[in-house]
A and B are shown apart, each in its own frame.
Chain A
Amino acid sequence: MRMRGLMLLFLFGATAAPLAADAHADAKKQVDFGITVAQKGLWREAIYRWERAVQIDPKYAEALNDLAIAYEHEGDLEKARVAYEKALDLQPNNAQIKQNYELFKEINDRTTRKDSQDSGDSQDSQ
């Protein structure tokens, strides 16, 4: 009985690893295609590809980084922030993701500071 259990565990391990590798390879294809189209200015298509990549491999930090950049380009700063932070959670020491995030934060902080100033200073017109 124990032997059968061990066999099953071994089989699961033996098949799971290649499956994960396949998933990452699929996700990487999406990322690569996303980069190609983003370089041509087709950001919507790039977002679709990188979202697919993250669905396939949720731990793909590079895909999350690229997705964050695309959201930033589209002006969706909240989504960009979430994606950057997920990417950094997965790879906290990745210098390039950190650099992108710092540049993003500069813009994001400026807009949120403005928003808070609005709420503090302004009154409703109605």
Chain B
Amino acid sequence: MTGLLAKTARTAGTLRILSSVTAILLIAGCTNYYEIPIETPIKPKLDVSAFQRVLVAGFIAGGTEDVDGNLETTRLLRSQLRTKSDLRVIDTDVLPLMEVAQEEPGTEAKAEPAGAPTKGEVGGEAEGKEAAKAQSKDAKDVKTAKGEPKPEAKDAKAEAKGEGPQADKAPAIKDPKDLEPYEHVFADVEYWKKIGEEYQNPLIVTGTVMFTPHQRSGIVQREEEVYDSFGRRRVVPVRTYMERKGYILQPKFIFIDGRTGAVIHSENFREEVLYNANQSTPALSSYFELMDRLIPSFLSTLSSQKIKGTRVLLQ
């Protein structure tokens, strides 16, 4: 009887050892992996090899009056393209697209682009032209008549006062639907072809920008610091009813071939941000916060991007 018990115990022991060894082997077999960083190149959506220059022409903008969507978007895209793309950025007046769109299609606008701006510099080569002396006084923001940039301070002042290119007009565009009557301008091949000829057939970037205030209330989960009786700090999730306000940015970027005047690509974006109701965030800060989010996507249309990540190699 004792012998039988001893034998059983020995067998159980052997089994335990065997199972442990098997488990170790299994774990060892499963852990043959190596984390490796990778960079996935994403090809640009547009083949822009045919273009040497890019003209960010201007935008039909609407929404809040606190930010001049046309001027700010044009400036921001130009500066981004200047540093992050191989295309030479044409620095010139912003087109008063709303005025162009308001004109009867097929009349003067086609013969001589109403919004044709004074030619500016491309990387230092100043070629002032009187293409459009009748250039709207609205477009005085980016350059002077000689094509020299105005001091930033002046622009900032103008913005503070709300004196953007379209500031003296009644803010007719309050809703994305209000943009529809103006959108035909982007399909005006003759107009864009003319603009293209003015600037040696660049890639033209234009579109619409809606930047609207937004409010939302509801239950929000946030983290709160709690200290127990021993003074230990803990962070706990707390659900509270909150009223929040912020902005929605809805740009549509339209890419036009300056050689043909035809739209070659267009893209819609939508970004929104909400803050606590008692937090006062300037509209311009929100605008830049939201634009920051979609700039990489905009740039990936024109230039290749690399997405960094980590993967697991297996043996």
Residues of A within 8 A of B (CB): 28, 31-32, 35, 38-39, 61-62, 65-66, 69, 72-75, 77, 94, 96-97, 99-100, 103-104, 107, 111, 114-115, 117-118, 121-126
Contacts and interface: CB of A to CB of B under 8 A. Distances in A.
Chain B: interface secondary structure?
strand
A121 B265 contact: yes
Nearest to A99: B312
Interface in B83-111: none
B41 A75 contact: yes
A62 B33 CA distance: 10
B15 to A, nearest CB: 27
A56 B164 CA distance: 67
B40 interface: yes
B267 A124 contact: no
A27 B38 CA distance: 23
B313 interface: yes
Contact of B40 (A39, A72, A94, A126): A72
A31 B267 CA distance: 42
Interface of B: 33-34, 36, 38-43, 45, 257, 259-260, 262-268, 300, 307, 309-315
Given A77-B40, A96-B33, A107-B40, 6 more contacts: A28-B315, A100-B311, A118-B265, A121-B265, A122-B264, A124-B264
A73 B315 contact: no
A122 B311 contact: no
A56 to B, nearest CB: 15
A121 B187 CA distance: 12
Nearest to A60: B314
B45 A114 contact: yes
A122 B40 contact: no
A35 B41 CA distance: 20
Contacts of A94: 314
A66 B32 CA distance: 12
Contacts of A103: 309-311
B34 A39 contact: yes
18 contacts: A35-B315, A38-B313, A69-B38, A72-B311, A74-B41, A75-B40, A75-B41, A75-B43, A94-B314, A96-B33, A97-B314, A103-B309, A107-B40, A107-B307, A121-B267, A124-B262, A124-B264, A125-B264
A72 B36 CA distance: 12
Nearest to B261: A125
B265 A96 contact: no
A31 B315 contact: yes
Contacts of A96: 33, 312, 314
A75 B43 CA distance: 8
Given A62-B314, A66-B314, A123 B263 contact: yes
A73 B314 contact: no
A88 to B, nearest CB: 12
